A and B are shown apart, each in its own frame.
Chain A
Amino acid sequence: MPNSFVFDPNRCTGCGACRLACSIENDLGPARSWRRIETFNPRRHPSAPLFHLSLACNHCSEPACMYACPALAYRRDEATGAVLLDESKCIGCKYCSWACPYDAPVFDSNRGVMSKCTFCNHRLQDGLEPACASLCPTGALGFGDLPEAGLVNEIDGFPATELGPRIQIRPLEPGRRLPVMTAPEATTPFTLAPQTGSAGISLRSEWSLMLFTTLAAVLVGLVASAFAGSASVHPGLFAGGAALTMGLAMLHLGRLERAYRAVLNLRRSWLSREVLSLTAFMAAAILYLWLVPDSFGLALTATLLGFLSLYCADQVYSVLERAGPGYRHSASVLWTGFYLTGVFIGSGWLAGGFGFGKMSLYVLRKARFIEAGRPVRPGLSAARLALGFVLPFGLWFFGPVGFHGVIIAAVLAGELIDRGEYYVELEPTSPSLEMQQTLEERIADATARPERLAAAAAD
């Protein structure tokens, strides 16, 4: 029978002993732990229960981290079910933390590698339970076999996935969800607690990726336009651009000396595929531009590899987007590549088609944000639309000739804004975010207090 954590939110008091037990057992240092407590409704809205989830790695049967890891640093211990990270193989790209919806792998900035719960595999092998489960003072966190009757792996705040997490949760018992409270409710509007704890992605941490992806699209566009014969690209300049692009990508790694490992997981990881196809594109492009500019075959190969790498770059983010496979964001790197190619070679249908497509996606997204009450940054949005579409097309169709450079600069500025917003708006699935969103929904649907009091009085 497969091993599994068993968690009972009815018994958890959020004390944090499990977190300490993990720190102590695994010698992580006093304030570092692979386990953490997520609290639902910390500011105690009167219509929602207050409870906690104690979460670490769930050692999924379909481990997203392991599949995503480009360096093959993860493996599974078939005997215990533990999904294990070999830190000596980790390149510190943090991609596994993007892939994991439970925020299990965390980056250790001191050592430049990821770090993750081991299921206390050393204890399991000795027939012992993980330290966190064995030291829970209330018996809320336990350990058992999968599956157990009456247990589920869903509760408010626990991201629903198809990954087969090895955790079983006892549902909140109806009678213990919310006491009848005698103090009057606040008349002041409720303030949600600031969100905490997510291994969030922000522009501040991902600015290098914004530049990297945009630059990659520029390089692919340049090679494609050279292939189309409408532009000549200086091979030295291209090589310099390629070096800069790779340099930006490397900034993201915690352990540069192991960068070569990034291509090891072609079978599963879009990141490996991106890195390999991009490297191959650059090599073919340099060969083509520098040595054999007449080679149709090489030019075609380089161009195809280029668009393939942009496709892979988009797919890298598929682990983060809460949308189906057909979904495309206005900042799609592949589309940026096509758009820029159209702009570079002056192809009205290519630039117009992808430009219009991008603009439509952008406007539609902003409209959805307005509807959902999410921030839209109107000034920035206007700049993105004006620089990225209105100004270049205006100049293109109505302006005097000779403004090609301005058009390209405007398009690039617009694309950088969009890509920047992309990183700001990305919401990787995480328990804390899930909790916040569910709480907001709960509060919105809350039964009015008089009705609850009447129900209580009738009880």
Chain B
Amino acid sequence: MNVHVEDGRIRRIEPHPGNEATPGGACLKGLSYVERVHSPDRILYPRRRKPGTNEFEGISWEEALDTIVGKLVELRDDPGPQSVLYYSASGTKGLLNGVGLKFWRLYGGCTTTYGDLCWPAGLEATRLTLGENKHSAPWDIAKARLIVLWGKNAAETNIHQMTFIDQALDAGAKLVVIDPRRTQSSERADLLVQPRPGTDGALALAVANLLVEADAVDREFIDRHVLGFPAFAESVKGCSPDWAAETTDVPAQFIRKLAEYFADYRPATISPGFGMQRFTNSGQTMRAMLALLAITGNVGRPGAGWVYANLQSHIFDDVKDPIAFYPPERPDGVVRVSISTARLGPEMLAQQDPPLRMAWVERGNPVTQNPQTNTVLEAFRALDFRVAVDQFMTDTAREADIVLPAKTMFEQSDVIGAYWHDYMQLKQKVIEPPGEVKPESEIYRLLAAKLGLREGVDGTVFPVTDDEVEAYLERALEPFPELTMERLREEPVLAPGHQEVAFSDFVFPTPSGKIELESSEAVERWGVDAVPNYAEPAESLRTGAPDAASYPLYMMTPNTKNRIHSQFNNLEMIRQFGDAPFAYIHPDDAAARGISDGDRVRIFNARGKLELEARLDNGLKPGCVCVTNGWWISEGGTVNFTSAARETDMGYGAAFHDNRVQVEAMRRAE
């Protein structure tokens, strides 16, 4: 984007014409940086918790760093450097994020996490099936004749994709949305399929079965590019429309309709969302959906494909996601990668030899965003010492002993890739950090100096001045002659070697070199069936769970256009679009509980509760309750009070959407 600065303030943000994936304007969040950077709530100076209180006071950098270094020296000796948890998330992206782990290695080690909250089950399913996580350029979907937004509300979470979807619809394409909710995206659809949460795999397998039975598959494509079709075809034989109707709650006629769409309209693109792959059966679900594309020949062709994760711009990674966030096969004894992000709370508490004593959190807000908030809080509170680096006083920062101010993307240059389009972009420093804000690279350099780590005071390790940062980025760009700082300063540049139509060379980097419907790696690594199959999710009401009657509603926690997870909602610009969380509930479920529109309600299960206002939603599937993700506890309650610290079936993802609750009206007097 183009950023206009007047008198040291970000005045205006406009789209860069060189990025063809975003021809319109920036989204709401992008525009709101105008406020975010200069918000009066921004942390501009180090803060320290007043002992024994929840209040913070400003302190000097000198004092903050001395306090931290004192603690680090003490812990390094006893019980050892691995008693420090280094937790970083994705709040700000860029190459310079790498300085964090570099520092902790120099310090002598640390404990850190593996896995990821966001999208690993889908990444792993894609890797097992197609060999690699990439998809066609964003505008390619305009050539599709069938688009399936599967568990995705692109209108809110990927608004720039809507431009290309609209182009396809203008050209006569069919749109199917699969979502228990009636959303902004489904409003343009021909068909809105509303399955019971977590049962998408059954839907996909039944559609596959119908396609195989009707011989509406692409035999030639299968013969040339697909491994394991016979086994897959055999395994879906039992997946009749009636079985799937029973399992998913979608009447069989609509399952047949969906199969007809796949049979009749090609090319077809499936663009799945991330929420649906946060169940315990998600990897297999995603593999089943991928199989639909494979058997209908919808891979490697314009307008066809699987628009999930496009890592073609992740050129600096030696090992790409999802493998990059797996625990190392041979631990190096320095950095202990022993905590599953999905089970952060329980596993922080369970660490031994040494147990955790301190946490350093940057670019993340694990208190609200990781599953099972009450356990995460317990784990943080059990530590001796906590440091949070952040722009605002998030729920996590409020738990810290020392809070250090964090930069925004306008205050230090960095090079970023993307995960939807293929552009490499230079985000250029356009203003000086306000107040006493220091970028992480500078914080680490100062810590290294105080700790006497000689290697760390070198500007090539922790670049601080603009020249050092520039040199650092230039070194990273050296292997790519097409990418120079000069060129990136001008405009976004397509990643070297990118494919406009993914897999158009029909090269699939799987063990067999084919699209693998049958994967031995799936069996060996994850212990699942070689072919995609369906298992009820952990919190299904259909497995005879003893607490089914106590917690009979599926809790959905989708993202909204107003936030990226827990970011942005503290801004006035964003809060005008929604100032408090709502519990969206179907009118029949509400009536059964004596709940009217606007009533205060409690959502709860054995793990926790949150209290908020009910909104009746006639578009929601009965049996579900829906609260958007990302609210802070201080804003009305994080949804993760109720979610479970549990992993997905593959990829070390977090299955926190696999969640059942009860809703009750709160007494008016309360």
Using CB atoms and an 8 Å cutoff, list the residues of chain A in contact with chain B. Answer: 10-11, 13-17, 20-21, 23-25, 29-31, 43-46, 49-51, 134-139, 175-176, 178-191, 457
Contacts and interface: CB of A to CB of B under 8 A. Distances in A.
Nearest to B10: A24
Contacts, number: 152
B118 interface: no
Top 7 nearest A-B pairs (CB, nearest first) are A135-B25, A44-B619, A30-B572, A188-B587, A13-B155, A137-B24, A183-B194
30 contacts: A11-B166, A13-B162, A13-B185, A13-B561, A15-B27, A17-B28, A20-B31, A24-B34, A30-B35, A30-B571, A31-B576, A51-B187, A135-B24, A135-B31, A136-B24, A137-B25, A138-B24, A139-B23, A139-B24, A176-B187, A179-B182, A179-B191, A181-B186, A181-B619, A182-B194, A182-B250, A186-B622, A188-B587, A190-B618, A191-B616
Interface string B614-630: 01111111100000000
A182 B251 contact: yes
A190 B587 contact: yes
Contacts of A21: 25, 31
A44 B576 contact: no
Contact of B253 (A179, A181, A457): A457
A363 B166 CA distance: 53
Contact of B597 (A15, A16, A176, A191): A191
Interface of B: 11-15, 22-28, 31-32, 34-35, 155-156, 159-160, 162-163, 166, 169, 177, 180, 182, 184-194, 249-251, 253-254, 561, 571-573, 575-577, 586-588, 590-591, 596-597, 615-622
A137 B573 contact: no
Given A14-B184, A135-B24, A139-B23, 8 more contacts: A23-B573, A29-B572, A50-B619, A136-B25, A176-B188, A179-B186, A180-B192, A182-B251
B560 to A, nearest CB: 10
A23 to B, nearest CB: 7
A41 to B, nearest CB: 9
The main secondary structure of chain A at its interface with chain B is loop
Contacts of A179: 177, 182, 186-192
Contacts of A134: 14, 25
A136 B14 CA distance: 10
B288 to A, nearest CB: 19
Contact of A138 (B162, B615, B617): B162
Nearest to A191: B597
A23 B571 CA distance: 14
Nearest to B177: A179
Contacts of B576: 30-31
A120 to B, nearest CB: 12
A457 B160 CA distance: 32
B184 A138 contact: no
Nearest to B191: A180
B7 to A, nearest CB: 13
Contacts of A190: 587, 618
A137 B160 contact: yes
A149 to B, nearest CB: 16
A138 B155 CA distance: 9
B618 A46 contact: yes
A180 B166 contact: no
A190 B586 CA distance: 11
A183 B26 contact: no
B163 A138 contact: yes
B163 A139 contact: yes
Nearest to B23: A139
B166 A138 contact: yes
A16 B586 contact: no
A43 B618 contact: yes
A328 B251 CA distance: 57
Which interface residue of A17, A45, A183, A188 has the most chain B CB atoms within 10 A?
A183
Contacts of A20: 28, 31-32, 573
B192 A181 contact: yes
Contacts of A457: 253
Contacts of A187: 588
Contacts of A189: 587
Contact of A45 (B194, B253, B618): B618
A45 B590 CA distance: 16
A343 to B, nearest CB: 47
Given A181-B194, A186-B587, A49 B28 contact: no
Nearest to B592: A188
A51 B186 CA distance: 11
B14 to A, nearest CB: 7
A24 B166 CA distance: 28
Contacts of B160: 137-138
B224 to A, nearest CB: 35
A187 B618 CA distance: 10
B304 to A, nearest CB: 22
Given A43-B617, A134-B25, A138-B163, A31 B575 contact: yes
A184 B589 CA distance: 13
Given A136-B24, A176-B187, A181-B194, A46 B591 contact: no
Contacts of A10: 166, 188
A17 B587 contact: no
A188 B588 contact: yes
